[in-house]
Amino acid sequence: MSIADQILYEDNHLIALNKLPGQLVQGDKSGDPCLAEEVKAFLKIRDAKPGNVFCGVIHRLDRPVSGVVLFAKTSKALSRMNQMVKERHFKKIYHAVVKNMPPQPEALIENYLVRNEAQNKSFVTHDSSNNKAKLASLHYRQLATSTGGYHLIEIELHTGRHHQIRCQLAHLGCPIKGDLKYGYPRSNPDGSISLHAYQIEFDHPVRHEPVVITAPDPWNIFNT
């Protein structure tokens, strides 16, 4: 799929894409192509820009995750959006597919997480005095159940910790479908995990108007 086909929203300051599983948002040690550079190249050609093109990463999604990812097209927009994210004026809603029913239909979950860099994995700790532990908070609610017994869960993130949703749902006994790293027994055929950045909401950094950007769920097993 081309960058043009992935665009969900664009104006003079921002561009949002529907990220596919497997795509990198920002370059890493793998050296694989990343969306930030692909967006730059796309804008340079489409808009016939003679000089360098600015594309700032506002937030990231894990490589096997799909859904809305937002980039800044100007340094002013990036600075203001970074401040909104830091102050938690940037609402993020995710959808996840799990096989095990959550313990409650809806709940606020808070844990302290510790990141293991060597394993590239986060763990729940009960030692909140650990100076490496960070509070992770999210609210979830069950949306639907498929005929095959899978459950569609909506998650609103209150914090943005490493692998937060994956770790906290696994700790509940509900690992995300396809997420081998956090205990799901089988991988998805395409290497994805069934976690999707469904919607983001924020005030526009220049126009100061509400913006809501949605990427439809990629699954067809739920009638929602």
All domains in the chain, ordered by first residue: 3-214 (3.30.2350.10)
What pLDDT digit, counting tens, does each position of 100-115 carry? 999 999 999 999 999 9
Q: pLDDT digits over 19-72, tens only?
A: 999 999 987 777 788 999 999 999 999 999 988 899 999 999 999 999 999 999
Which one of 11, 47, 62, 179 is the catalytic residue?
62
183: left (phi over 0), alpha (psi -120 to 50) or beta: left
Q: What are the pLDDT digits (tens) for 187-217?
A: 999 999 999 999 999 999 999 999 999 999 9
Share above pLDDT 90 across residues of the chain, in percent, rounded to a whole number: 86
Count of positions (residues) in the chain: 224
- Alpha-carbon distance 73 to 69, whole Å? 13
For position 119, what pLDDT does the model report? 93
Question: What confidence score (pLDDT) does residue 129 get?
Answer: 77
Q: 104: which residues sit within 8 A by CB, 6+ positions away? A: none
With 90 as the cut, is the pLDDT of residue 131 above it? no
pLDDT digits (tens, 9 = 90+) for 77-94: 999 999 999 998 999 999
- The answer to whether the CB of 19 falls within 8 A of the CB of 218 is no
> What mean pLDDT is predicted for residues 163-186?
97
Q: What is the pLDDT of residue 1?
A: 82
Q: Dihedral sign, CA of 118, 139, 193, 4?
A: negative
pLDDT of residue 63: 94
The pLDDT score that the predictor gives to residue 223 is 61
Q: Which DSSP symbol is given to 193?
A: -
Give the Cα separation of 217 and 4 in Å (integer): 19
DSSP symbol at 102: P
Burial annotation 51-72 (CB, 10 A radius, 16+ → b, else e): eeebbbbbbebbbbbbbbbbbb
Q: Taking residues 113-128, report their average pLDDT.
A: 91
Kindly state the tokens that stand for 66. 């799909």
Q: β-strands 121-125, 56-57: how paired?
A: unpaired
Mean pLDDT, range 150-160, rounded to an integer: 96
Distance of CA 186 to the CA centre of its chain: 22
User: What is residue 34's predicted lDDT score, i.e. its pLDDT?
Assistant: 93
- Give the residue from 188, 186, 163, 166 showing the smallest Cα distance to 175: 166
pLDDT at 170: 97
62 counts as catalytic: yes
Percent helix, strand, coil in the chain, to 5, is 15, 35, 45
> Where is pLDDT greater, at 219 or 29?
219
Place of tokens 């949703």: 165
